[in-house]
A and B are shown apart, each in its own frame.
Chain A
Amino acid sequence: MSTCIEQIQTIFSQVLYREVQSPQADLFESGLLDSMSLIELLFSLEQQFGFQPDISDLDLDQFRSIETIAHLVESSTTRKAS
């Protein structure tokens, strides 16, 4: 079963059509994540993981890399489960 990181990497390549070289790559500095693609990413995260943050209160730093996104998603879904 693929890890959360791998699933998010797949979202980037197959949904957003953005190839991200490593889970630590800075998505903002590299231009791989901009406002519209972030909105689409959130939509995909909701569909795939049930991840539904309050979009008006996002900490954008948590979306800086695939690794940080995975951490955010996993901790959110763990909170929900408990």
Chain B
Amino acid sequence: MNIIGISGLDQSVSFRRQQWPGLDEREYRISQGHDSAAALVVNGKCVYAAAEERFSRKKHTGDFPVHAINYCLAEAGLTIDGVDEIAHAFDYSPYKGIFMLDPASASQYKTVYSREALVGAVHQHFPQFPAERITHVNHHLAHAASAYYTSGWDECLVIVLDGMGEVDSVSVYVARNGQLERIHRIPATDSIGILYSLVTLHLGFDFNADEYKIMGLAPYGDPSKFRSFFERVVTFGDNGSLRIPILRMQGKGEADHRYCATRELLSSSLIKERQPDDEITDEHRDIAAALQEVLENALLYVCGYFGARTGLRKLALAGGVALNCTANGKLLNSGHFDDLYIQPAAGDDGTAVGAALHRSAKGGHIANVRQSVPFLGPAYRNGNIASALELESEQVEVVPFATLEETCAEAARLIADGKVIAWYRGRMEFGPRALGHRSILADPGHPEMRDRINAMVKMREAFRPFAPAVALEEVHEWFEVEPGTELPYMITIVDVREPHRAQLPAITHVNGSARVQTVSATDNSDFHTLLEAVGRTTGRRMLLNTSFNVKGQPIVNTPGEAIETFRRTGIDYLFLENNLVRRKAGAMPVCHAAV
């Protein structure tokens, strides 16, 4: 059985633009249905998946994922006729009548949320695909399925936390014998995810995109300064619920969903709204710290409550809030659970996988094998690479290596020499993290490396930390975890062992923590081979690993994009599979920052 799962809501942002022209550009992101993606599930196992942004180059796009679908089909040798279902990770149909209540929501339903809108989008690109084979999966159920059916567990607690699905912000499921039973929900009007996103916006960043930057800013602040505010605005019910009344301040309702009254309260109680180019002050850092603290407390409360109520000791998490690695680290160490699995594509892109897995499970086909490192995207081998290099032959020169081992030896030598390399090989990762196939790599022990990469390579905010990839065999030597602790998705924060913090300045955050990725020889063999080589040249089988892109750009997809991004930045060398690419003498980086 071949099922394509898709995420995103085509027309969501364009509807807002048309309906409410003249909003601040960042306010158009206060909308549903970003991060469209497609995933192909064959006989219950996800075999290919990719986010549409990687093809269209529009970061976080919610456009219909036609390119991602075509990638999945081509890779599997299928045409659309060979697809049994297209499953969409939203189902607004139960709420159709309710949305008809007011003209604005009725229009939005018709244009964005309706089945007719989805079928129309499918038929625009695949006109022959039978409408009866287009199905819908409740958004949180899709998230839950993306976690449960890739956990490898028969029985566990599954908790989904995000801004909102159709109408909910948290859903709690008991997963058992291949079935997901929802036992609790928290409505969108008490959404800890929306609160976090609104404060993110208020601090001058992008709603539903930059929350992880606030998470990175938080350790620089003092949560006690604004703790009392957040303790007042977020209260915990006695049944596992959260109450966030300030999200309902919009009185008679607000057709354009900008949360104006809530944001005015943030201005009067916290700080006036920061514009993106304004300086970040200690107050902003303190607010970020207090916000992060309340999110952590909320996550621990909800998860701990239902862990105790159900007696289940394994927890699977999904939903955008599960991308908060710091909170995940607190959960890991909380003692509430014996085992924690977080879907690596915990955001809305992952619902494409979940929708397809859910429908596959309904049809009796589900593999439920623990998700290996999600290398589910396109690979571009020698022919494509040669063509891309040929186009740039006046600017770059190529040194081919015969084997992976030789390639790694040279890369490790350059890394030990303080160079920043881009490392591009194999299938692209699915989900927000680069895990060794589309990465920028450097020595984590180099004292200036963090500032250098932030300024000259990623061209992003200086406070942003970088993350380490470390060979699984030695993770416990550097980080405060037990030997053999597997954290392959770079989605959990742990502490760097204190004696090593000074030696690892590029990946140790200001509070001594790191968002570690463990790399195993079985699941991530090429990257493990590189780490072995780096161990021989630096004494540590560890690398600073950040995604191969610059600020505002999706992670690179094609070899051509890799070469262009390499040329635009202060990256020293590019490895395209077993080819070392370097600038020709006299060729300057085409970059925005001075070297």
Contact = CB atoms under 8 A, between A and B. Distances in A.
Contact of A39 (B102, B187, B251): B187
Interface in A45-72: 55-58, 60
Contact of A56 (B97, B100, B101, B245): B97
A16 B248 contact: yes
Interface in B198-253: 245, 248-249, 251-253
Interface residues of A, number: 21
Which residue of B96, B101, B188, B248 has the most chain A CB atoms within 10 A of its CB atom? Answer: B101
B478 interface: no
B537 interface: no
A18 B101 contact: no
Contacts of B100: 60
Contacts of A43: 185, 187
Contacts of A56: 93-97
Given A56-B93, A56-B97, 15 more contacts: A17-B245, A17-B248, A17-B251, A30-B252, A31-B252, A35-B95, A37-B248, A39-B95, A39-B187, A40-B187, A40-B189, A40-B248, A55-B98, A58-B97, A58-B98
B395 interface: no
Contact of B101 (A16, A38, A57): A38
Contact of A33 (B94, B101, B188): B101
A30 B251 CA distance: 12
Contacts of B249: 17
Nearest to B108: A35
Contacts of A37: 189, 248, 253
B97 A34 contact: no
Interface of B: 93-102, 105, 167, 185, 187-189, 245, 248-249, 251-253
A35 B109 CA distance: 11
User: Which 6 A-B residue pairings sit nearest by Cβ, starting from the closest?
Assistant: A34-B253, A31-B252, A56-B94, A35-B105, A17-B248, A35-B101
B242 to A, nearest CB: 13
A17 B249 CA distance: 7
18 contacts: A17-B248, A18-B251, A30-B252, A32-B252, A34-B252, A34-B253, A35-B95, A35-B102, A35-B105, A37-B253, A38-B101, A39-B95, A39-B98, A55-B94, A56-B95, A56-B96, A58-B98, A60-B100
A38 B105 CA distance: 12
B95 A55 contact: yes
Interface of A: 16-18, 28, 30-40, 43, 55-58, 60
A5 B97 CA distance: 24
A65 to B, nearest CB: 14
A33 B251 CA distance: 10
A58 B95 CA distance: 9
Given A33-B101, A35-B99, A39-B167, A18 B188 contact: no
A17 B244 CA distance: 12
A27 B94 CA distance: 22
A11 to B, nearest CB: 12
Given A39-B95, A39-B167, A31 B253 contact: yes
A43 B190 CA distance: 12
Contacts of B101: 28, 33-35, 38, 60
A34 B93 CA distance: 17
A78 to B, nearest CB: 24
Given A17-B248, A17-B249, A36 B189 contact: yes
B195 to A, nearest CB: 16
A39 B581 CA distance: 57
A30 B101 CA distance: 12
Nearest to B252: A31
A60 B187 contact: no
Contacts of B187: 39-40, 43
Given A58-B97, A60-B101, A36 B253 contact: yes
B77 to A, nearest CB: 39
Contacts of B99: 35
A16 B187 CA distance: 12
Given A34-B105, A35-B102, A40-B189, A60 B97 contact: yes
A60 B347 CA distance: 34
A30 B93 CA distance: 26
A72 B187 CA distance: 22
A15 to B, nearest CB: 8
A56 B93 CA distance: 7
B108 to A, nearest CB: 9
Contacts of B245: 17
A6 B98 CA distance: 24
A16 to B, nearest CB: 7
B188 A36 contact: yes
A10 B96 CA distance: 27
Nearest to B245: A17
Contacts of A38: 98, 101
Nearest to B185: A43
Nearest to B261: A17
A55 B166 CA distance: 13
Contacts of B93: 56
B98 A35 contact: yes
A71 to B, nearest CB: 19
A44 to B, nearest CB: 9
